[in-house]
Amino acid sequence: MVKVLFVCLGNICRSPASEGIFHAMVTKAGLSDMIDIDSAGTGAWHVGDPPDPRGQAAAVRRGYDLSGQRARKVTISDFEQFDYIIGMDSSNFADLAAIAPEASRDKIKLFLDFAPNLSIRDVPDPYYGGPEGFENMLDLLEEASKGLLDEIQHRHFESQAASQ
């Protein structure tokens, strides 16, 4: 089982959308029983809250259901449990690196590094903007999700199939 944790600031915009998008892609690829997906925030402001209604509406228009998710804060045990800890921007990455146990720091990745064809490295936080920010966010997350899924399939599942 490969475990992926998506992380943003409050776990109500970018990381829950990433979780929903990636879950849909993993399901479509037939890997739901091989990849576990969750999301969290570096801050605790929204713990227990559902994803932002604007983000949920934008996600639904693309066929992603985020309604069952609830915000939570990253814990130290997450660094032991997850294989990939994906920050949405350089600030999230730095916050994660600051609290990660030394042995787990290599698990922390910047999400848009899985979309090298994009000209930006940070997923902008749409929280204080309008609906177009959520659409742009989803575009970026879909692109990075494809790259992450390719990475996981290549690194974890193709090598297993080759050794059998």
- Distance, in Å, from the CA atom of 87 to the CA atom of 109, rounded to the nearest integer, reads 6
Catalytically annotated residue among 78, 113, 125, 155: 125
Catalytically annotated residue among 14, 72, 78, 95: 14
Residue 147 exposed, middle or buried by CB count within 10 Å (0-12, 13-18, 19+): middle
Q: Which H/E stretch holds residue 77?
A: helix 76-81
Catalytically annotated residue among 8, 13, 52, 72: 8
- Asked if 106 is an active-site residue, the reply is no
**DSSP symbols for 18-46:** HHHHHHHHHHHTT-TTTEEEEEEESS-TT
Ranges assigned E (strand) in the chain: 2-8, 35-41, 84-87, 108-110
- Asked if 13 is an active-site residue, the reply is no
Active site residues: 8, 14, 125
